């Protein structure tokens, strides 16, 4: 118990704020940070290993969860980014929808129009937090082509290019299986329907890629 208290104390001490309301202060400094920590560890599963029969850890969920945790343990955030991308990223720039942290492999479920773009947001946030540009040089293969190895920067280029190449009649990215709103994929025609949300994401992530390119 003492070791756990020490470990948790070190994590939570990385960010502390002072506000007039003591209850809000406890929520911000302890419970909100704790929730971000647990989400990073377990995503939407009961644990990173005993994920049950329904699903593994979501690709987009895990990348989003990094945003609230990386200031506490940036080395673990970096490790998660590389492990996840190695397990889920496809040669065409798309992503597998879920992955197993235990098996270090992605699911067969593919075709979501937003999953791959969250990687750019997570990497950009990590670089802003740490200034550690060496992350972009991490080299690994694609989950569907073990013979092709590229650095993370080029993985991200493929991700943003995938959305540019898969646009519909109005110039917006196609919805495909679904965007962030998973349930919206149940009705529309994935070859015709477009996603305004993913279009806005693409603009944001393309700008981030321009900034990353200028850093190099």
| Residues with active-site annotation | 182
- What is the predicted pLDDT for the residue at 45? 72
Q: Average pLDDT by consecutive 10-residue portion of the chain (216 residues)?
A: 91 93 96 92 69 73 95 96 97 94 88 97 97 97 97 98 97 94 76 93 98 88
- What is the predicted pLDDT for the residue at 103? 84
Does the reported pTM lie above 0.85?
yes
Does domain 55-215 correspond to CATH entry 3.40.640.10? no
- What is the predicted pLDDT for the residue at 185? 74
- The domain segmentation of the chain, as residue ranges, is 1-42, 55-215
The helix, strand and coil proportions of the chain, stated in percent and rounded to the nearest 5, come to: 50, 15, 35
Beta strands per DSSP E along the chain: 57-58, 98-100, 105-106, 139-142, 145-151
- What is the predicted pLDDT for the residue at 51? 55
């Amino acid at each position: 118990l003492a070791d756990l208290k020490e470990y948790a104390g070190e994590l939570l001490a990385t960010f502390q704020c002072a506000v007039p309301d003591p209850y809000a202060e406890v929520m911000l400094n302890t419970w909100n940070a704790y929730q971000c920590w647990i989400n990073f560890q377990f995503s939407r599963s009961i644990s990173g290993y005993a994920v049950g029969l329904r699903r593994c850890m979501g690709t987009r969920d895990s990348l989003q969860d990094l945003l609230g945790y990386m200031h506490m343990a940036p080395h673990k955030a970096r490790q998660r980014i590389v492990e996840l991308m190695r397990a889920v990223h496809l040669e065409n720039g798309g992503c597998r929808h879920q992955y197993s942290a235990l098996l270090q492999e992605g699911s067969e479920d593919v075709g979501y129009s937003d999953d791959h773009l969250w990687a750019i947001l997570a990497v950009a946030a990590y670089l802003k937090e740490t200034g550690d540009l060496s992350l972009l040089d991490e080299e690994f293969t694609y989950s569907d082509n073990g013979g092709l190895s590229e650095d993370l920067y080029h993985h991200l280029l493929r991700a943003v290019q995938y959305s540019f190449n898969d646009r519909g009649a109005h110039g917006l990215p196609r919805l495909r299986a679904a965007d962030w709103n998973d349930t919206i994929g149940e009705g529309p025609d994935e070859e015709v329907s477009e996603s305004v949300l993913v279009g806005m994401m693409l603009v944001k992530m393309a700008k981030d890629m321009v900034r990353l390119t200028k850093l190099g």
